[in-house]
């Protein structure tokens, strides 16, 4: 029998590395068979991400249905408070160690939420593997989005060796660390001390030496006299607009700002960006967020 599921298509030569990465993250759907498509492999995954497309897969023998869930590293996140279903998820996916149920929305200046442990180890901490990088995260204490993996790679490919980069809302450091191998220096700021603590751990884990963590409110960065930057990353989709004036003060003339925001219509922030001094702006949709809302990025040349 066949079933439709999310899948990731990769060249055969990258297949084994991708298989190990998906297994480590707990996102490979072992109930379905991996597809071969000429010089590509298509891996079935348990939930949608920015690289995925819907494909038809053959079912594995002895396939058992398990509740819908999203995986992040060794943690599965369910949308229902279902302990029995959580146990079945753990039993079907050896790479997972914990199943959580969110008991709150993402709230507060640290962009975190609360969770209930349904099964497995009583922890919200795990490790995520992303394009060869390893990030320790803690879902209850610091913000992290695995769905921006492709965006991090896209931005990194634009960075040149002599650039200085500022990540104004760095979290545990995924943008900063991915970019570090291409930039001269990355300054990574965040207001959350627990995020900075995890960032320090991730810097060491990924063996990068040109990321400088800064514990600071983004609105205070100008007063630190850090100088001007060639590139600025602003990933604070719910409230980043209020910090746009600061970003324009911190970027070099001719530099670039990557501004992420939730929008409900095309061009929602264009007028404000041009008022502040944007010369060229490209808007693109990163992903759907909710009915009538999209996570968009504005690539701004100043």
Claim to verify: residue 73 and residue 26 sit in the same structural domain = no
Which of the listed residues 58, 80, 106 is the one where a domain comes to its end?
Answer: 58
CB 12 within 8 Å of CB 40: yes
Claim to verify: residue 157 and residue 227 sit in the same structural domain = yes
Which of the listed residues 26, 58, 90 is the one where a domain comes to its end?
Answer: 58
Kindly state whether residue 137 falls inside one of the protein's structural domains.
no
> 62 falls in which pLDDT band (50, 70, 90)?
low
Claim to verify: residue 160 and residue 270 sit in the same structural domain = yes
| Beta partners for residue 119, in sequence order | 99
- The Cα-based distances of 130 to 9, 22, 127 in angstroms read 16, 9, 10
Claim to verify: residue 297 and residue 168 sit in the same structural domain = yes
Claim to verify: residue 153 and residue 24 sit in the same structural domain = no
Kindly state whether residue 63 falls inside one of the protein's structural domains.
no
Kindly state whether residue 92 falls inside one of the protein's structural domains.
yes
- Judge whether residue 131 has pLDDT over 60: yes
Domain containing residue 42: CATH number:
3.30.70.2580
Distance CA 188, CA 172 (A): 9
Claim to verify: residue 150 and residue 285 sit in the same structural domain = yes
Claim to verify: residue 275 and residue 151 sit in the same structural domain = yes
Kindly state whether residue 233 falls inside one of the protein's structural domains.
yes
Which of residues 180 and 110 earns the better pLDDT score?
Answer: 180
Domain containing residue 92: CATH number:
3.30.300.110
Domain containing residue 244: CATH number:
3.40.50.150
Looking at residue 32, what is its pLDDT?
86
Q: What's this model's pTM, rounded to 2 decimal places?
A: 0.80
Looking at residue 270, what is its pLDDT?
95
Claim to verify: residue 169 and residue 277 sit in the same structural domain = yes
- What's the chain's average pLDDT? 91
Kindly state whether residue 130 falls inside one of the protein's structural domains.
no
Number of compact structural domains in the chain: 3
- Judge whether residue 60 has pLDDT over 60: yes
Domain of residue 118, residue span: 69-123
Kindly state whether residue 138 falls inside one of the protein's structural domains.
no
Looking at residue 66, what is its pLDDT?
80
Claim to verify: residue 175 and residue 274 sit in the same structural domain = yes
């Amino acid at each position: 029998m066949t079933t439709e599921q999310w899948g990731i298509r990769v060249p055969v030569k990258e297949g084994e590395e991708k298989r190990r990465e998906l297994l480590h993250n707990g996102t490979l759907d072992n109930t379905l068979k991996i597809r071969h498509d000429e010089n590509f492999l298509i891996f079935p995954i348990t939930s949608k991400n920015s690289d995925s497309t819907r494909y038809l897969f053959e079912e594995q023998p002895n396939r058992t249905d398990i509740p819908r869930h999203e995986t992040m590293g060794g943690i599965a996140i369910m949308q229902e408070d279902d302990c029995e279903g959580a146990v079945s998820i753990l039993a079907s996916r050896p790479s997972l160690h914990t199943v959580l149920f969110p008991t709150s929305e993402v709230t507060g200046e640290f962009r975190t939420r609360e969770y209930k442990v349904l099964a497995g180890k009583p922890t919200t901490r795990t490790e995520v593997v992303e394009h060869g990088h390893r990030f320790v995260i803690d879902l209850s204490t610091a913000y992290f989005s695995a769905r921006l993996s492709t965006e991090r790679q896209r931005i990194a490919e634009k960075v040149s060796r002599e650039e200085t980069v500022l990540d104004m809302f760095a979290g545990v450091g995924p943008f900063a660390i991915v970019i570090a191998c291409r930039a001269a220096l990355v300054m990574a700021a965040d207001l959350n001390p627990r995020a900075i603590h995890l960032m320090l751990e991730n810097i060491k884990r990924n063996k990068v030496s040109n990321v400088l963590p800064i514990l600071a409110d983004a609105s205070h960065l100008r007063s630190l006299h850090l100088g001007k930057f060639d590139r600025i990353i602003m990933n604070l989709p719910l409230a980043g607009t209020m910090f746009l004036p600061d970003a324009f003060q911190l970027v070099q003339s001719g530099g670039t700002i990557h501004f992420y925001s939730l929008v409900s219509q095309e061009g929602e922030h264009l007028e404000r960006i041009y008022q502040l001094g944007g010369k060229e702006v490209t808007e693109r949709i990163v992903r759907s967020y909710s009915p009538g809302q999209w996570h968009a990025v504005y690539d701004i040349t100043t």
